[in-house]
Structure 1
Amino acid sequence: MSEIHGPGGPVPHIPDDVTVVQFMLDMNHESRPVAPSAQTNPWLIEDATGRMISYAEIRSRTQGLANGISSRWRISEDDVVCIFSPNHVDYPVAVWAVHRLGAIVTAANPAYMAGELEYQLTTTKAKLLFVHPWSYEVATDAARAAGLAPDRIVLFDSLPNNSCVTIQQLVEEGHSKPPSFTERRLNPGEGKTKLAFLSFSSGTTGRPKAVCIPHYTPIANVIQMSHLANLQTLPWEERKWRPGDAAIAVLPFFHIYGLVVIMHFSIFYALTLVVVPKFNFVDMLKSIERYRINQLSVVPPMILLLCKHPAVKQHDLSSVHMIMCGAAPLSAELTWRLAEIFPRARIGQGYGMTEACTTVSFPQNEQKVCTPGSAGRLIPGIIARVVQPDGSHAGYNKPGQLVVKGPALALRYLNNEEATKETFVDGWLYTGDEVMINESAEVFVVDRIKELLKVKGFQVAPAELEGHLLDHPDVSDVCVVGVPDDYSGELPLAFVALSPNALERVKKDPGEAERIKATLMKHVSDTKVHYKRLAAGVEFVDVIPKNPSGKLLRRVLRDRAKEMKEQGKLPLVPKPKL
């Protein structure tokens, strides 16, 4: 067994001469279902207000915004526009308006600090910045540092005493003016090379990298998922995906899971998205009850809350019939506990990554509670290999690195030839995840070969934190590892070898050790997004273990961290109250 094919193929025709917006708003594809109430079913619902937004309104706003952007700034082919915002009902409008112009979207985490956003703006050479009012101050600081003029900032909603133009104003402006651009149909095959997104993904070294995603790949992945959903043969009420259902959009649209699976696939498959800008668990329960939400796309920390939070019993969640977990592995124990709490729900996991744009495996169609511990089944169109350290291909139920091929793979990393050569090899994507695959094409994630941490579903590159800590004068050497955590998946812990000066200060005053630890944690929290902070703390060591070539022996310290946790020696930072 050298290659495993996702069952259910072949995949329907994937158009390679249209953009994402043309695929979503202008064409009817054979894999696209029709909702039972397609004429009246809203595409989006604004969680806070209950405002319903139809296909016609989205299409009209997209056209108006595209014309407004083009009229003001002449944004056009291959320009980059950054979206720095939590979820918003105009988020897809902003994405698709940029695509109408032939330009490229780069979506940034709204929790970023100014330096992190500046890095993304500079790396992508963004010419326009869409910003939510919540993130405005950080955005202005980052834009200034990146050389982006203040009049190149567009607000999702108005701010008092602020002169920045809003999306609504641009939509109205665009509708009031004659067309200032000509949208074109791509040449045959051009969809496979013309960029739609520059989505950031952490690597094993250095800072996050921009993944080059052409229009063809998210279209392909949406078709793959829709085709799989169309293969359901169970009675209607037992199906996982049902056109006309209401789904919650609480996972962030900037993340590849939220962008492709929730924002594009869900809308394409005729689901109504209830758009939630910020996750709060109790508020999410209220939204499920208020809008009779049927489908939950979540990550493991949310599953843990669904299983353990006392507020769950205070709300009517009987409308939920499908729960899909992704972004990080979910244990078999939590899966069964969830099934007890939601006895009517279909439960399963998916697996994907930014470089695969997005889904590699999806919940099994025929199972009510999908095989516990599995990350789902390979989707149609995916070919997988399980590669052992010696380069040979493992058989069924044998561990090795997951290597995949399919129509939805990204092209490369932007301006990073070395990382591209390591990850994208002869049409295959080397995921860096150790897995086992069984005879049913079910994927079981064993470990990450790459050194990435997964904190609340987000990728954290230890090298980024290590480089930042090494800038501090008290640090001589450092190694960051992940500590397993039921809520977050992993928490970053820094093992630090102190500089001679710091060691001398600690010898004179033992209390200085705790002060240095607090200083180093603040050194990270002042400049890094919340999930990159040292939530498992700082531990001092005499020396950072390395092999003869100087490579960090990260596994040695990871094992030490697990042992310290089991012995109760790690003062984990308390979790915020919800």
Structure 2
Amino acid sequence: MSMRADEYEMIRSRLTAPGSVFEVVPAEIGGRTYKSWAQAPTTLRAILERSRSFGDQTFIVFEDERLSHAAHVERVARCASALRARYGIGKGDRVAIAMRNLPEWSIAFWAVVSLGAVAVSINAWMTGPEMQFCIGDSGSRLLIADDDRIERLGDRLSDLALEAVIAVRSQNGSDPRITPWQTLETGDGPAILPPVTILPDDDATILYTSGTTGNPKGALGTHRGSCNNVITTRYFNAVDAVSRGTAVETLSLDGRNNAFLLTIPLFHGAGCQNGLIFSVFGGGKMVMMPRWDAQRALDTIAAEQITDMVATPAHFVQLLDLVDATPGRHAIGSVETVLVGGASPPADLPARIHAAMPKAAVGTGYGQTECTQIATLSCGSDYIEHPKSCGRPVPICDIRIVDDAGAEVAAGQTGELLLSTSTLVKAYVNRPAETAETFVDGWLKTGDLVHLDADGRMHIDDRKKDMVIRGGENIYCIEVEQALYSHPDVEEAAVFGLPHPVLGEEPYAMVFLRANSDASDPALRAHAGERLAKFKIPVEIRPSAAPLPRNANGKILKRELRAAWIAERMANPN
């Protein structure tokens, strides 16, 4: 049975009591008081140095390659020494990382943050112009990238104020502009981390989110934010364990027997914060997939005895469809923790996961890049019986639900969610106005409209932000609309999300074309594809015979367009 509010509160109070593993203490940040985990490490460098104690235990598995925790720290130290000696990279400097999931992504990330520098995660799915903007906007001094990203940037590299481009696993060794990655690891630099003083609230990461004004926004995160988030990932398992009868006194933050299947890109907050940092902190194994493939994932779960998975509903639906199609063929009973995130799941998905992985703690949560991932959690029977809820706030996160005037709404009513926690990012890079609008008096205005049910579970009702979430990726409609408006035949454009059974939502567009235009859906989608990452391109772009409907203030009535499209789907399901 699912947990009542009083039952959850009893578990929470036991877990967070003074002296317990999940004790909560006050933290003074920028003149304000927030909640923090008492056991949280102080910096990301401290997490890395802690991982030396895991020695020869396997850390990274990538195809036929295996890297132990000790070997990983040594490679990170050599890379950090080379970055310091050759380029003078130090505290506060920014280094961009743009590549698919590779062992070098981890090495580069930890080398940068261990120097007190800032790791700038570039979305590897971005187009050349999008990557160029993020690298330039962040003020990155160096770019560490694979060949595909370097090729995508092309001549734009010369327009960026980069001191060096370091190529990972490159086949283009003759390009004089490119420095091979191998030189960072095979040089004469010592295998020890250069000395530096890092404080908990120093800058650590920049992750770019899709922007409401057409360009992505860089969220500037801290060491404290990442270090607290890693304890939150353990809290999820603790709640499930205690609800099943485990004694609080036996709980530990250690995770050296964990085997994590990385299904999410490391440039994504969930991949980095809840996958990479989680595995280094606990001494676990992280198994990288070169690309998502459901059958290969099932084979990997069996071969590597995977215990932990964080993935989107789409990933889990594909896995379970294969399991159901071939009963008894796939050995997935090793999985102990499953977190579903990034999109609203099909209603039956939690129960399907539980049936296929009966000993796993199955759950979900709510978070944003702006709060370093996790703010609420739901697990076990609570999630199975209430799949549309994203759970209750974690102990280090306070919430408010307010109306348009900023007043708190009554219990059960819908309002905008505000979050206050020690994991909030500092600001949006180079966006003082948007920072001031989003972060107000220590509270993050999420833009999500939510309500609490009678037992304190949070439900997302709608979004104030004009955004589509497709398989866990945020797509701001205005960015897509601007790409469509750049087509000479488009006079009006409206982008909105339509439901998808697996991905949650997908983007669609309605356009009103200029007179005598015959621009087709394929032509408009191709035009958008030259300016946007593939996942942002509308599934369909439909021309309207008349100007798009607007309200008295001139705003296009997207809800009206969306409702009409959904009604048409229902009338013509095939």
Fold agreement, TM-score > 0.5: yes
Deviations 1:88-143 (A, max 9, x none): 12222111111232221111111211111111111112211111234331144442
State the partner residue of 1:55.
69
- 1:43 paired residue number: 59
Q: 1:117 aligns with which of 126, 131, 134?
A: 131
> Are 2:530 and 1:521 aligned?
no
C-alpha distance after superposition, 1:280-332 (max 9, x if no partner): 22221221122121221110111221233466644222222322101122232
The Cα shift of 1:541 comes to 4.5
Picking from 493, 499, 506, the partner of 1:478 is 493
Q: What secondary structure, in the 3-state scheme, does the structure 2 residue paired with 1:106 have?
A: strand
Does the CA contact (< 8 Å) of 1:306 and 1:312 recur in 2? Answer: no
Shift in Å, 1:179: 9.3
Please say if 1:273 is aligned against 2:286. Answer: yes
- Asked if the contact 1:65/1:97 (under 8 Å) is kept, the reply is yes
RMSD of the TM alignment (CA)?
3.1
2:298: which partner in 1? 285
Would you say 1:197 and 2:197 are equivalent positions?
Answer: no
Work out the percentage of aligned pairs sharing the same amino acid: 24
2:44 matched to 1:20?
Answer: yes
The aligned amino acid for 1:520 is: L
Partner of 1:263: 276
Alignment-mate amino acid for residue 244 of structure 1: N
Q: Pairwise mapping of residues 420-569 of structure 1 onto structure 2 (< 5 A)?
A: 420-438=435-453, 440-502=455-517, 512=518, 515-568=519-572
**Cα deviations by residue, 1:233-278 (Å, 9 ceiling, x for unpaired):** 3467999996512110120110111111111123323331112232
CA distance in 2, matches of 1:307, 1:539: 38
Q: Choose which of 167, 179, 193 in structure 2 pairs with 1:165.
A: 179
User: What amino acid sits opposite 1:42 in the alignment?
Assistant: T
Take 1:127 and 1:451, find their aligned partners in 2: how far apart are those partners? 33
Quote the Cα distance in structure 1 between the aligned partners of 2:173 and 2:420: 52
Partner of 1:575: none
Give a deviation string over 1:60-115, Cα, whole Å, max 9, x none.
11110011122222222322111111111222211111123222111111121111
**Alpha carbons of structure 1 residues 268 and 177: separation in structure 2 relative to 1, 3 Å:** closer
- Give yes or no for contact 2:146–2:168 (8 Å, CA) kept in 1: yes
Relative to structure 1, is the Cα distance of residues 177 and 221 closer, same or farther in structure 2, using a 3 angstrom cutoff? Answer: closer
| Aligned with residue 155 of structure 1, among 167, 176, 184 | 167
Structure-2 separation of matches of 1:315 and 1:165: 44
CA contact (8 A) 1:76 1:103 kept: yes
Match of 1:75 in 2: 89
Q: Is the 8 A contact 2:483 2:532 kept in 1?
A: no
State whether structure 2 residue 259 is matched by structure 1 residue 246.
Answer: yes
Measure, in 1, the Cα distance between the counterparts of 2:137 and 2:67.
34
- Gaps of at least 5 residues in structure 2 are 17-22, 26-36
**2:342 is paired with a residue of what secondary structure?**
coil
Which residue does 1:388 correspond to in 2?
A: 403
1:509 maps to none
TM-score (norm 1): 0.85
Q: TM-score normalized by structure 2?
A: 0.86
| Residue pair 1:483, 1:536 contacting (<8 A) in 2 also | no
Matched, 1:105 2:113: no
CA distance in 2, matches of 1:328, 1:124: 28
Q: 1:520 to 1:354 in 2, by over 3 A?
A: same
Partners of 1:568 and 1:72 lie apart in 2 by 63
Distance 1:530 1:57 in 2: 36
1:373-422, Cα deviation, whole Å (9 max, x unpaired): 22133212111111133433234433222111111011111121222122
- Judged with a 3 Å threshold, the aligned counterparts in structure 2 of structure 1 residues 484 and 83 are, in CA distance, closer, same or farther, namely same
What is the one-letter code of the residue matched to 1:144? S
For 1:319-398, list aligned pairs within 5 A.
319-364=334-379, 369=384, 371-398=386-413
Q: 1:405 aligns with which of 416, 420, 436?
A: 420
Pairwise CA distance, 1:154: 1.4
Change (3 A) 1:484 1:347: same
61-70 or 281-290, which deviates more:
281-290
Partner of 2:429: 414
Distance across 2 between alignment mates of 1:292 and 1:101:
34
Aligned to 2:229: 221
Distance 2:400 2:211 in 1: 21
Question: What are the Cα deviations for residues 326-346 of structure 1, in whole angstroms up to 9, with x where unaligned?
Answer: 112223222223333333433
Query: Is contact 2:367–2:373 with CA below 8 Å preserved after alignment?
Result: yes
What is the deviation of 1:223?
Answer: 2.7
CA pair 484-43 structure 1, distance change in 2 beyond 3 A:
same
Q: Distance in 2 between matches of 1:420 and 1:379?
A: 24
Equivalent position amino acid for 2:500 in 1: D
Give the corresponding residue for 2:19: none
Question: What is the aligned partner in structure 1 of residue 215 from structure 2?
Answer: 207
Distance 1:132 1:568, change over 3 A: farther
Equivalent position amino acid for 1:84 in 2: A
Name structure 1 gaps, 5 residues minimum. 29-33, 503-511, 571-578
Matched, 1:127 2:141: yes
Q: Distance in 1 between matches of 2:61 and 2:354?
A: 28
The amino acid of 2:302's aligned partner reads E
Does residue 294 of structure 1 match 2:307? yes
Residues 26 and 541 (structure 1), Cα distance of their counterparts in 2 relative to 1, 3 Å cut: farther
